Structure 1
Amino acid sequence: MKKLPYFFPIAFILFFNCSSNDDTSNQDSISDALYFPPINSNVWETKSITDLSWNENQLQPLLDFLESQNTKSFMILHEGKIVVESYMNDHEETSLWYWASAGKTLTSTISGIAQDEGLLDINDEVSDYLGTGWTSASLDKENLITCKHLLSMTSGLDDSLGNDVSPENLQYIADAGTRWAYHNVYVKMQDVVTVASNQTWNSYFNTKLRDKIGMSGFPNGWLASNNVNVYWSDTRSMARFGLLIYAKGKWENTQIISESFLNDATNTSQDINKSYGYLWWLNGKDSYHLPSLQFEFDGELIPNAPSDLYAALGKNDQKIYVVPSKKLVIVRMGNAANDSTFGLSTFDNDLWEKINALTD
């Protein structure tokens, strides 16, 4: 086990939620204390475990567990400052890694920015931007699909036909809004943004988000894989994004994305899967659905995690956790801890047991 090279947490993202549970005075105090690392600099202030009165004896067991579970990097931020940052299994601070489906939240965020700028409305039909015939559904069924349906995974298109999102592979199975299914058709929101902004996806993303908060990328961040754009970055870039979301869409004094959109994105977006927002996973609900299954599971998504947590979850256990009540952002990159899954895995609950031992 490689010992912790410096004494700060890596990017497990815990975000200060904009939900109704949090009183205004608490939100203001968190905002006043929040730290943002400078853009175009590797400087990032730290905070010690001792200052937070966490259980320092539980740090090494957490890191040992992470390394044994094929982790490459891990960070914990508290009010924006690094408490824990560790790299393992031949990964380094400057190494790039893929976000997998955790990057869906980037698409959600960019969609919100484009709506804030008046370029699109997520309540519009997708066909208003892409034209008709972008699916194989009949015109009346295709025109039921709005941008919001893409963001909430309720397009009604068949999710069993693979990753290809060409029209012939986007086939009707149910009316939009009546069925929740984890589907790559969400990437059509990137096409919507491209049309609405009259810019390439990379250009709009870089200008409106990446460059404004100091993220890195490979080479422009997005790499095509199995008909889907996948984001690659270093771990600190993932943490920067988590911090932006924790800060309710602000970076220092600049509102990058509206708080109102983020509030919608990180709360239940439809009445089928209560644990899903706009491409964000939500803890604390009384039921949830999982990718590839048309079955409702009772209980919380991650029982060991705080109920106000929301998360970006990607294949092979790419994680961004945002926990407003604990003022945390947590990030994990690496290979699959156990069996490969598209999002949630048993690793989430096991990891939170270790995090709780450190932070409680």
Structure 2
Amino acid sequence: MKKFLKLVGIALLIGVFYIGFTTYPKLDLISGFSAKSIASGHFIDGRSQEMIEKGDNDIKLIDLAKNKINEAGKFATASVYGLKERKAIYREGLGATLIDEDFDSSTPYEIPKRNKSRNNLTFPYGDKEQKDTVFSNVDYAKLNSAVANAFDTEGTVAKRTRSLLVIYKDKIIAEKYDTGFNKESKILGWSMTKSITATVFGILQYQGKYTINTPAPIPEWKNDDRKIITTSDLLHMNSGLAWEEDYTAISDATKMLFLSRNMGRIQLEKKVAYKPNTHWNYSSGTTNLLSYILRNQFKTHQEYLDFWYSALIDKIGMNSMVVETDMAGNFIGSSYAWATTRDWGKFGLLYLHEGNWNGDQLFDKSWAKYVATPTNGSKGDYGAHFWLNAGGRYPDAPKDLYSANGFQGQKVFIIPSQDLVIVRMGLTEDAKFDVNGMLKGILGSFKK
């Protein structure tokens, strides 16, 4: 018996050491994710700590973190069993920023100058509610059933949809929110932010201020084999640069988001692993490198901050949107834009109308085709910072569907052939949520 107990004790000791060895290096990332999530959700959208912990932070390992909100100081902290405490500060106009111990919060900073002008127009071109419009080719009973089916029934937690919006011919024909959310709720788009970043390049190119098909303007690359990488290669995630996008481990992506001061430089410093335009590799680092490149197109940091809003975000009335910044003050173009579901819908409509917003052309019509054209190696799933259905990812949806996608099932679907935009915000990926079934149900409500 004593021998058995001794063996059990040794096994337990080995188990403790194994868990400590494999988990302790991740504590920075766990507490970093949690502190950032708490600060953003609370100070941007006004959610309670409990709501964030039960929703956004209900992820394996992340749920180990213990969090605190400091209302007066406008920051949140998180730690795991008292270890590796991290802090995220909130600054009006910049959102929440995860900081390190050397960051000086008292240093003056610039914020974007916003123009949230109001008008008497109805959605999507203004803030007034639309008049009821009934389309004879829409079976509203089927539509409402399909929308309701995307949400959990009372007492279940599986689909975890937070909002669903269907816009047809510029009119909202269906809109539903989960408990605790409404049309004013700002929801994190995660990697849908990548599509925002790409669009800024489309606008600059249309204005004659940038060319995407020439080598990326990065001085550090001029004397090595990276000098031939174009901005278009970067937009297609086809640069050939080394990158590991793994959120279950300590990877390039997690070190960038939760440890880096200047996120744009992480991908910049990587070496070439493949010849450009031959190997598709999804990389959040690439998008933050693009944000870094954008910063260098402007003489001042203030101009860089303002342009994203004046040329795109506020231009189309996405007045709720906040794009958060890193410690260097640059937009985290890969991951951190917040907006209401309706404002995310406006972004989809901009692409549905090929860059034209109520008579004002923001980017060339060809840009919409460019982002929706498959990149080499993606099997028809990816274009230029947009996901595609060209390869039949969703078999019951049209092949011309393309979308801005984000972690946990954030989607802005653009379907030109149907004059349709669908926005789904939630907490479940495709593997757990039947996206194809949702699209099939919505599309099936249109009479042929």
Do they fold alike, i.e. is TM over 0.5?
A: yes
> Relative to 1, partners in 2 of residues 1:95 and 1:82: Cα closer, same or farther, differing over 3 Å?
same
Report the Cα distance in structure 1 between the residues aligned to 2:429 and 2:282, rounded to whole angstroms: 22
Return the match for 1:87 from 177, 186, 197: 177
Deviations 1:307-358 (A, max 9, x none): 211111111110111111111111111211565xxxxx76321212221332
Residue type matched to 1:113 in 2?
Answer: I
**Which amino acid counterpart does residue 307 of structure 1 have in structure 2?**
K
Of 329, 342, 350, 1:244 maps to 350
Higher RCO (CA-CA < 8 Å; seq separation 6+): 1
* Aligned twin of 1:222: 324
Which structure 2 residues correspond to residues 247-262 of structure 1 after superposition, within 5 A? Answer: 247-262=353-368
Q: What secondary structure sits across from 2:296 in the alignment?
A: helix
How many angstroms does 1:124 deviate by? 2.1
Q: Where do residues 49-60 of structure 1 align in structure 2 (5 Å cutoff)?
A: 51-60=135-144
Mapped partners of 1:303, 1:235: distance in 2: 25
Please list the CA deviations of residues 83-134 of structure 1 after superposition, one character each: whole Å capped at 9, or x if unmatched: 11111131111010011112211111111111112221111222x2x3215x
Distance 1:82 1:226, change over 3 A: closer
Structure 2 counterpart of 1:132: 220
Instruction: Tell me which amino acid in the other structure corresponds to 1:37.
Output: F
Query: Any conservation in 2 of the 1:158–1:173 contact (CA below 8 Å)?
Result: yes
SS of structure 1 residue aligned to 2:344: helix
Residues of 1 paired with 2:219 and 2:196: CA distance?
Answer: 24
Shift of 1:228: 4.4
Q: Does 1:326 align with 2:418?
A: yes
TM-score by length of 2: 0.61
Distance 1:182 1:86, change over 3 A: same
Q: CA deviation at 1:198?
A: 3.1
Q: Relative to structure 1, is the Cα distance of residues 325 and 228 closer, same or farther in structure 2, using a 3 angstrom cutoff?
A: closer
Aligned counterpart for 2:437 among listed residues 334, 341, 350: 350
Report if aligned partners of 1:150, 1:189 keep a CA contact under 8 Å in 2: yes
* Aligned amino acid, residue 191 of structure 1: Y
Indicate the residue corresponding to 2:311 in structure 1. Answer: 208
Whole-angstrom CA distance in 1 between matches of 2:429 and 2:122: 31
Among 334, 338, 341, the alignment partner of 1:232 is 338
Distance 2:333 2:167 in 1: 33
Question: Does residue 196 in structure 1 map to residue 306 in structure 2?
Answer: no
Once the 2 structures are TM-superposed, how far is the Cα of residue 227 of structure 1 from its aligned partner? Answer: 8.9
- Give deviations 1:32-73, integer Å, cap 9, x for gaps: xxx97365524334433xx23322332343233221211111
Structure 1 residues 36 and 159, CA, compared in 2 at 3 Å: closer, same or farther? farther
The count of residues paired between Structure 1 and Structure 2 equals 298
Query: Do structure 1's residue 173 and structure 2's residue 280 form an aligned pair?
Result: no
CA distance in 2, matches of 1:271, 1:36: 42
Cα distance per residue 1:164-187 (max 9 Å; x no partner): 253486232112212100001122
RMSD (Å) for aligned C-alpha atoms: 2.6
1:219-278, Cα deviation, whole Å (9 max, x unpaired): x43355989451100111101111111111101111011102222122224365433211
Deviation string 1:114-171 (CA, Å, 9 cap, x unpaired) is: 1112221111222x2x3215xxxx9422212111111001011222242225348623
Counterparts of 2:438 and 2:142 in 1: how far apart (Å)?
A: 12
Which structure has the larger Rg over C-alpha atoms?
A: 2
Letter in 2 for 1:41: D
Alpha-carbon distance in 1 for matches of 2:195, 2:305: 15
| Residue 281, structure 1, aligned to residue 367, structure 2 | no
- Structure 1: give runs of 5+ residues left out of the alignment: 1-34, 286-299, 340-344
Percent of aligned positions that are identical: 25
Matched, 1:43 2:144: no
Query: What secondary structure, in the 3-state scheme, does the structure 1 residue paired with 2:394 have?
Result: coil
1:222 partner letter: E
* Of 182-191 and 272-281, the range deviating more from structure 2: 272-281
Change in 2 beyond 3 A, CA 1:227/1:74: closer
Alpha-carbon separation, structure 2, partners of 1:283 and 1:162: 28
